Amino acid sequence: MKKYRYITFLLGIILFVSCNPVEENLFDDSSAIRIEKSLLNTQDVLKNAENGWLMEYYPSSQQTYGGYNVLAKFTDKEVTIASEIEDFDITEKSSYSLKQSAGPVLTFDTYNEIFHTFSDPNSSKSGLGDNGVGMGGDFEFLILKSTQDSVILKGKKTGNRIIMTPIQSGTDWGAYVEELQEASEIMKFKNFEYHVAGQIIPVRVSYRSLIMTYTNEEGNEVTVSAPYIQTLTGYKLYQPLTILGVTVEAFNYGKEGDTEYFTPVNGTDARLVAVFPPLNQTLVSGDWFFAFSGLGTYGKNYWNYAKVNGLDAIGEELYYAYLGTHSDGKYAFSFASAYGSSLYGGALHFNYELIDENKVKYSFALTGAGDGVWYYNNAQFVYLIYPLYGGSNKTFTLTADNEKDPSWIILTDDSDPNNTIKLFADQIIWPFSN
């Protein structure tokens, strides 16, 4: 028994000696000093890009609107911004800061007319998104990587990955932005066919996202969204797209005769081919926005009546209105009405018949969604939709600025040439003011 106690006693001495709290500092500096050094290093990286950085910016946590090119050049305290969303020769200066907040953070801390367009909650700034949200972008970013070759950021609000790479020395910003804008116009399409793994998959374009619905290897119908950013040569995807075992990260644009197409940069056997459906199919497959200025005398009379006796009477203002597929999956006159900072949305469903390639017949389905029926009964919205069906049905002949990729479509009533409706591909906010 004594032997065991002796062994225990010796073990205690050994443990005491080995656990003796003699601490060794594993770091040369305190955490505060290390953080400060990290931020200074990041600032040096940002400043040392002689011609600034090209930022692949994605607003919206779901990358709903795709990506946009932003050019940024940093000094000690200021950043100069340009972007493809603005005229090619316009730049804007503002301040920025680097701080510690669960990691190093880059903040664009004073309002920049160009950069903050993506995060401004006033949707009329960008013309996209709901009021109070806008495009839902970031102006604060966690810094994941900072080297001379690239800076990788993560939006604090959206979690989106933002990549910055140095702009080649000698590149003229204005000329580069102008080239991007020209490329965007050339490569702007609404519909594609994706030829991959023996299938032809229909593709529609929503803002800068490719929306594809296909049957996977298990026989299930799958819908995927592939957000992209415009490059000088094609589309670069936000993340790799894998369909039927084929993975693509970017596409290059090409043209052979009248056929316009995109092929994967990595040489994968796949092809994204632009298709141009008949004009009436283009109309009913997209969302087309109303503006009061786009109405003929017939429509303006009815809309004025609805405004004075309906919207004005309840103290509201029409925020937007469009023809297209509502969130309930049905074709409809969809709208949002603003009361202060609140929006009330709804839809009034329509039936349509496509005639030839450039005619459409509309009739009111007598149903609605959301607050649609309430506004029909209580806010005179019957007069907003009346030019579309005239109490029964109406047939319209369609014309457009560009039948392959229209930015607007005019509907002309076959029975009354004074009843014309110009619909716009881009979202119109406050249609009575446009």
Residue 408, judged by CB atoms within 10 A of its CB (0-12, 13-18, 19+), counts as: middle
Residue 426, judged by CB atoms within 10 A of its CB (0-12, 13-18, 19+), counts as: exposed
Nearest to 290 by CA among 393, 357, 370, 387: 387
Task: State both tokens at 380.
Answer: 């005179």
From residue 215, give the alpha-carbon distance in Å to each of 224, 237, 245, 263, 275: 11, 21, 12, 21, 20
| pLDDT (tens digit per residue) in 166-207 | 999 999 999 999 999 999 999 999 889 999 999 999 998 889
Which SS3 state, helix, strand or coil, does residue 108 take? coil
How far apart are alpha carbons 312 and 379 in whole angstroms?
9
What is the fold of 31-170? Lipocalin (2.40.128)
**What 8-state DSSP symbol labels residue 32?**
H
Task: State both tokens at 36.
Answer: 């400060």
pTM of the full structure: 0.74
pLDDT in tens, the chain (434 residues): 333 433 343 334 334 444 444 445 544 556 667 777 888 889 999 999 999 999 999 999 999 999 999 999 999 999 999 999 999 999 999 999 999 887 889 999 999 999 999 999 987 778 787 778 889 999 999 999 999 999 999 999 999 999 999 999 999 999 999 999 999 999 999 889 999 999 999 998 889 999 999 988 888 999 999 999 999 999 999 999 999 999 999 999 999 998 999 999 998 899 999 998 899 999 998 899 999 999 999 999 999 999 999 999 999 999 999 999 888 889 999 999 999 888 899 999 999 999 999 999 999 999 999 999 999 999 999 999 999 999 999 999 999 998 778 999 999 999 999 999 999 998 999 999 99
Intervals of CATH 2.40.128 along the chain? 31-170, 187-275, 280-433
What is the fold of 187-275? Lipocalin (2.40.128)
Identify the CATH assignment for 280-433 out of 2.60.60, 3.90.1530, 3.10.310, 2.40.128: 2.40.128
Amino acid identity, position 3:
K
User: Going by C-beta distance under 8 Å and a sequence separation of 6 or more, which residues neighbour residue 200?
Assistant: 193, 194
DSSP string spanning 349-387? EEEEEEETTTEEEEEEEEEEEETHHHHHHHS-THHHHHH
